[in-house]
Chains A and B, each alone.
Chain A
Amino acid sequence: MSQGLVILGATSKIAQEVARIAAKEGREILLVARNEERLEAVAGDLLARGAARVETIGCDLADVANHQALWSRVENQMPEFTSVLLAYGTLGDQVRAEQSIAYTMRELNTNFISAASLLSYAAASLEHRKTGVLAVITSVAGDRARRSNYVYGSAKGALTLFVQGLRARLFASGVRVLTIKPGPVDTPMIAHMKKGLLTASPKSVAAIIYREMEEGKGEVIYVPAYWRAIMAVIRAIPESVGKKLKF
């Protein structure tokens, strides 16, 4: 069986760490992200770490109009892929979103609309092959909208539902669909925030994601696992109380 792995948003810190694990196992990897210079650096790193082959496609993933062309390049450059990991997203600036509707729409487009579009292409490919894994990084923030980041949270929440739907659709074809909900991870995405005890390292998060993609049986994972319990509590807060919370 071929071992091709396609990573959408390959310059995200978590994606890079997942790719390093895959490289160490000698796999073939296709990296897609916007910045070509950065892709080049990541590709060199993965080759040095043992990847059998690394391909790159530089393009703006948020540009939905370009997705059809992008997907044919993916099929072209790595026709034998078996796993797809969607790993991009922007945390965004909630304050700015409240002052600019256009900014809000852009954030929703990046984190939900464009992801849903790309996942539709990936799902069709995998459905046709009747094998493989489609893994999507959403967020614990999608489990409940919060005052301090509901724009990001609602996009991730919508994405979580979309992926749930894909899972039901692809089940019949034998394609596994995995929803990954990380808590805060120590990456450049949250570089401006204070790091608490619950901030996980990208390396440890990546190890869990990779293992789950390769050997796991689960459908929805929280990374680290304790977030499942934390989010259960947060979801249970009644709306009458939740609306008064500032967090």
Chain B
Amino acid sequence: MTSDIEIKSGASAKTQPSAPPENAPDTSYKSWGNYPQASHRKVLRPAWMDEITGKLLTDNAPLLAYGLGRSYGDSCLNDGGTLMDIRGLDRILHFDAEHGSIVCEAGVSLGEILLIAVPRGWFLPVTPGTKIVTLAGAIANDVHGKNHHVEGTIGCHVEQFGLVRSNGGEIICSRDENPELFAATIGGLGLTGIILWAELRLKRITSAQIEMDTVPFATFEDFIRLSSDEEGAKYEYTVGWVDCLSGRKTRGIFMRGNHATEGKLRTHPEKIKLSVPFNLPSFTLNPFSIWAFNNLYYAMGRAKAGHSQVHYDPFFYPLDKVDNWNRIYGHGGFTQYQCVVPNSEVAAFQEILERIARAGQGSFLGVIKKFGSVQSPGIMSFPRPGLTLALDFPFRGEKTLKLFAELDEVVAAARGALYPAKDPRMSPRMFRLSYPRLEEFRRYVDPALSSSFWRRVAEEKA
């Protein structure tokens, strides 16, 4: 305003109200495994899509979007850089209850989508083992679930999204429009631009219940038989839990299910009742407690064997019932090892199980599943035809790293791959071997964006 009356010397510095405190580094943003830790120079918290511009990205480089922090390792961290917390973008922009499509801002969680969609007879086309992830995070990691063998990854069901890159304004990406950026962003670990919103195609349901079969298995061959294409065709959802101490004498519980056709369209409870309020002491998890848990879980699975009908919430998201369950691993944190090897490499898969059993370091739920051949549009997508194992490990420093390095060699020899969303430690070499289209992907990485993970595994060229 030109008519503004400026008062230049009215007050001495002494009587000025104190200026807002200097922006100290922010250490409150963590990954799910609590390892590694990161310190962020600055955290941006946009409340509206229009606040996110190319200039904002450039001015705050290196920058990374952060959602609900369910990535285990450092792919959601940007040590020394800027984080953009996108949870403020939590609006559902459009829900077409007739055709089952939903357009959401980036920070809407899958759980929030379910609250809107389920009462109207729609469900997520693909869901990971937690609903406490943002839609944009799900796309950036191209998440998969128990129905991978029939529906592929979440990227297979994304119609389009809006992306902001540092060199301009919003661009729309779909299979037809900017298809290369569409393919690079799905599974692109947030490095190709900031996702503002996305449109997801939903799945019709007539009940919130799942018809579930629980089948104990006592050999690896039994698991393979239960996972066969013939068997898989009968069940939309299949997954195996494996006792990580059983090794070659593989035993576990196979769970499979379909959406029930009858029942109420009841949503999950909005509030989480249980919580782990603080980090537990690290001795909580020891070889004995893990052995006891695995035995108990197996026994319970056997006792429950057979058919039952359960709500989708306990079927898909048993751990969402306890807020901050990751704190049972204490201050040291934990990590997960998730790999996939081709179907022809059964022997390698068994060797991995055996090495883990011998090392005796694994913890609770070892999850095994046979991925299907539905191809994701994402060029950096992790799932591919083969057998996948995901197992949590309390982080015990060198001991853990050494075991993982051993497992890596087996995975590499079998032409397998590791999953960045679960990883705090893979080598640049393993990343390269896991993602043959890495060089193509680099072309789409926005120069203003980076992550701790990316700097660790990919920044120096091979």
Contacts and interface: CB of A to CB of B under 8 A. Distances in A.
Interface of A: 11, 13, 35, 37-38, 41-42, 44-45, 47-49, 94-95, 98-103, 147-149, 187-188, 191-194, 246
A56 B317 CA distance: 38
Contacts of A148: 17-18
B6 interface: yes
B230 interface: no
Contacts, number: 68
B91 A42 contact: yes
Nearest to B105: A41
Contacts of B45: 188, 191
A130 B103 CA distance: 41
B278 interface: no
A191 to B, nearest CB: 6
Contacts of A100: 4-7
B17 A38 contact: no
A102 B8 contact: no
A102 B50 contact: no
A2 B438 CA distance: 59
A112 B11 CA distance: 26
Interface string B72-105: 0000000000000000100111110000001101
Given A101-B7, A149-B17, 17 more contacts: A11-B48, A13-B47, A44-B94, A44-B103, A48-B94, A49-B92, A94-B17, A95-B17, A95-B19, A98-B7, A100-B5, A102-B3, A102-B4, A188-B88, A191-B45, A194-B21, A246-B17
Given A45-B91, A48-B92, A49-B116, A99 B8 contact: yes
B5 A102 contact: yes
B18 A98 contact: no
Interface string B247-273: 000000000000000000000000000
Instruction: Return the 8 tightest CB-CB contacts between A and B, nearest first.
Output: A48-B95, A45-B91, A48-B92, A148-B17, A102-B4, A44-B93, A188-B47, A101-B5
A42 B90 CA distance: 10
B49 interface: yes
A33 to B, nearest CB: 11
Contacts of A187: 47
24 contacts: A11-B48, A37-B50, A41-B48, A41-B49, A41-B93, A42-B91, A44-B103, A45-B91, A45-B93, A47-B95, A48-B94, A98-B16, A99-B7, A99-B10, A100-B6, A100-B7, A101-B7, A102-B5, A147-B17, A148-B17, A149-B17, A187-B47, A194-B20, A194-B21
